[in-house]
Amino acid sequence: MSNAFYQVPKALNEPVLSYAPESEERNTLKKTLASMKAQTINVPMYINGQPVFTEEKISIHPPHERAHTLGTYNKGSQQHVQDAIRAALDAKMVWESMAWEDRAAIFLKAADLLAGPYRAKMNAATMLCQSKNVFQSEIDAVAELCDFFRFNVAYLTEIYQQQPFSPSGTWNRLEYRALEGFVFAITPFNFTSIAANLPAAPALCGNTVVWKPADSQIYSAAVIMEIFEVAGLPPGVINLIYTDGPETGAVVFEHPDFAGLHFTGSTKVFQSLWATIGNNLGNINLFQELWAKLAVKILW
């Protein structure tokens, strides 16, 4: 164990490439687009670091070319939701006990992979999956996502550096911990960067995550998971599932170890999630523990 106080690399905005005619990045992207469009892939869920295939296959089509089939994804059931939760809980102790600098290094590596060898693949997946042009995709799926990964590390460092004042004769110290349980991330179809950031941000802080992307974003979500894996993210830290919303919610929000929701979507869906979580608070271990501690303080 080192006694050093590490200084993380300075977070800088990822440059947006021009994709000018005959530029290297344009030529590489055109080749990658052609190659990926020519393939027909079978996208698995990822639970505990393992690809999961099911009997129910759902076809994936570019929104701008519905007659073309990019492949299929494997639709899961409530059992897969339960499996993903178990994987997240099993991975939690080792992950949250890992030195925060080591967790940070994984997401900094993910940013470098995205900016380098995975740049064309991430752009191509977003263009095919979500009908973005090259400039929209470059800004969203690459530059902004690199910024999320790098600046999240910088912000986490700032948070961890915040400590209470210690008057003479005392040493007050604040320890930052992950949530008690798993985090559920529900991500939208329209921004690849948001889809990656919602599971990644809580994971960086030591949480383990069950991630449900929008059905129309699964093609590019699989590339994100590939980047996480190559960057060194341990199995079970982020578990990617493709399941029906109501069926998933029935398992997640009634689970006693549900600890947090990271969500971007419509107001209507948010209001429904808010109401469901509120109605199930009595079943959640974290809420019961906090309420018990508060009650003791009030009685005291």
Domains assigned to the chain: 30-162+179-291 (3.40.605.10)
Helix (H) or strand (E) holding 285: helix 285-299
Which residue carries 């699964």 as its tokens? Answer: 218
Residue with tokens 């018990």: 292
CA distance 69 to 179: 41
pLDDT tens track, the chain, 300 positions: 568 888 999 999 999 999 999 999 999 999 999 999 999 999 999 999 999 999 999 999 999 999 999 999 999 999 999 999 999 999 999 999 999 999 999 999 999 999 999 999 999 999 999 999 999 999 999 999 999 999 999 999 999 999 999 999 999 999 999 999 999 999 999 999 999 999 999 999 999 999 999 999 999 999 999 999 999 999 999 999 999 999 999 999 999 999 999 999 999 999 999 999 999 888 888 777 666 665 545 545
Residues 6+ apart with CB under 8 A from 109: 231, 232
Long-range Cβ contacts of 137-142 (<8 Å, 24+ apart) = 137/192, 138/16, 138/17, 138/19, 139/16, 140/191, 140/192, 140/193, 141/192, 141/193, 141/220, 142/14, 142/114, 142/115
What number of CA atoms fall less than 13 Å from residue 57's CA on the CB side? 13
Q: Model's pTM, two decimal places? A: 0.94
Contacts of 185 (CB under 8 A, 6+ apart): 198, 199, 202, 209, 210, 211, 212, 261, 262, 263
Q: How far apart are the first and last CA of the chain?
A: 41
60 has which bridge partners?
A: 71
Residue that the structure tokens 């999630």 belong to:
273
**CA atoms of 258 and 84, how far apart (whole Å):** 12
pLDDT at residue number 290: 66
